[in-house]
Chain A
Amino acid sequence: MLPKKFRLLLFVQFIALTLLLTVVNVNAQALDVFKGEKGEIMISGGTAHIPVMKDAARNIMSINPNIRISIAGGGSGVGIKQVGEGLVNIGNTGRTPTNEEVAKYGLKMFKWAIDGVGVIVHKKNPVKSLKKIDLIKIYSGEIVNWKQLGGPNRPINVYTRDEASGTREVFWEKGLGKKTITLKANVVVSNGAMKSAVANDPNGIGYVSVGHMDDSISPVTLDGVNPTIKTVKDGSYKISRGLYSNTKGDPTGLTKKFIDYLFSPEGQKIVVENGFIAVK
């Protein structure tokens, strides 16, 4: 008889191997549905979704080069309009489509991730914490200098997103309480653009998807809560939103398979890898 410790080790290894094989099998299955298919999937809309879309598309196109997936940005508004008008198969939004939009286009919504919208400043900015009331005043143009917040004597450069942006919509609603955003704010067109703008401007302030945050910028603590995946998940950080993929009517064929893939374990793994919260 083998020594006890060794038997235990062998047992553990056996279990681990079985688990591994199951997981690999499941993964292969998730992409298997795409084998033998042919066609095109056109995706546009929210820019926060793009990294996940790209990873999913890469996996699918690697396994089956006959499938073409094209991905464009434009913001949530674009996603809704284009999928509604039949210009794309999937329209991504970073906010829930309104009742009018759903009714007008017959949209079906699929939420495959949870994300938050956090305020960001340049890494060198000493002001790393704000009260919500101050945030509202900064964005409305009432507070114009960092020294009014305990920072250096520098003018505040406000960055905001374009009107089609779901990120902007969520920030405006939940972060600013629907107060006005100053007309003088610099407008950038995507989450990625917001990140590079603030990363390059020592006096800048902006807002970006929590999943997109990295160490090129500093997140701002809002009313004592840090915008991280953890705080969004447990609800302590209030500015949260779902990431949706919408289709006109029920999805069929290749589009349905793509959306199912997003909900599959492998798809949800991609979601987590990109910094968002999985729904499953």
Chain B
Amino acid sequence: MISRFEHLIEKSFLAAALWSMALTILIFVFMLILGLPLFREGRFFSLLFTPWIPGEEQFGIYPMIMGTAAISVLSLCFGAPLAIGVSVFISVLQPGRLGRWLKKVVVLMTGVPTVVYAFVGIFLLVPLVQSFFTAGSGMNILTASLVLALLIAPTMILIFSGSFENVPISYCNAADALGSSAVQKFVYVILPYSWRGIITGLILGAARAVGDTLVALMLAGNAVAVPGSVFDSARTLTAHIALVTAADFDSIEFRTIFAGGILLYLITLIMVLTVRFLSSLKKEASP
């Protein structure tokens, strides 16, 4: 007894869902198609390991892969402990007014535009790093990682907090009843229970770090050499795509961007699948 019109509307709902699914696939397929010449010549895998010297016809993205790895790992090293510390504060030590207020501040931080963080980084942090360390121009892996850590921390904090607060109240009550302090409760009850949430948060933070363009573009110096130290200038895959797309779109040089794009897409895909897998693991009922 559903009219034709209503049927049409329901079909359009399905169409919308299918379109968003198709879009996800389409983005990947476009990159594959446009990067096809790379596969045909069997160059794709060699691109992952050679340097970028266009003057000598070398279009490898190896230095950029190293740059992405270096900046992402370092920003996680700064950001993850910060995030854990803050989420412990919010959920365990000060769950009252102070914690709620801090949580609001963290939520506010997720709304600050990336470009503004990077902008402040250029004019505040770069001169500091430059004068403090005197090696290099101040635009290097260290500066970029510090700002990137500030960028990914709020996301991680919210996920960590969420998983800490999801521990069954009975567990927490049991710990309190046995006379444990907040820290003991955290270390012995909450932390073991929420390991899944912590790993999820770390992975999503890493995904955000790997996928960010602007912080690295504005702060890491964009040199095409494989970085040797945290004070070296480096270029990430994302910044590389931004820089080269501005330059070209028909040559083999441009097509190597798609190699980088495909790599980034696959990395993101693996991270999303891992997070999904983690959340699907049955929760153990162990003490």
Contacts and interface: CB of A to CB of B under 8 A. Distances in A.
A176 to B, nearest CB: 11
Contact of A157 (B55, B127, B136, B250): B136
A152 B271 CA distance: 48
Given A187-B223, A187-B224, A200-B127, A154 B134 contact: yes
A197 B232 CA distance: 16
Nearest to B233: A186
B87 interface: no
A186 B223 contact: yes
Question: At the interface, is chain B mostly helix, strand, loop or mixed?
Answer: loop
B137 A157 contact: yes
Contacts of B137: 157, 159, 186, 197, 201, 203-204
A203 B139 CA distance: 13
B221 A186 contact: yes
Interface in A159-217: 159, 162-164, 180, 182-189, 197, 200-201, 203-204
A187 B235 contact: yes
A78 B223 contact: no
Nearest to B222: A187
Given A184-B233, A201-B130, A78 B138 contact: no
Interface residues of B, number: 31
A97 interface: no
A189 B221 CA distance: 11
Contacts of A186: 137, 139, 221-223, 233
Contacts of A81: 247-250
A85 B250 contact: yes
A164 B246 contact: yes
A203 B134 CA distance: 9
Given A183-B53, A183-B225, A162 B139 contact: no
A155 B136 contact: yes
Contact of A184 (B53, B127, B139, B225): B225
Nearest to B247: A164
Contacts of B51: 183
A155 B135 contact: yes
18 contacts: A78-B247, A81-B247, A81-B250, A85-B250, A155-B136, A163-B54, A163-B244, A163-B247, A183-B63, A183-B223, A185-B233, A187-B222, A187-B243, A189-B243, A201-B130, A201-B137, A201-B138, A203-B137
Given A162-B246, A197-B137, 11 more contacts: A77-B247, A162-B243, A163-B253, A164-B247, A183-B225, A186-B137, A187-B243, A188-B222, A197-B139, A200-B126, A201-B130
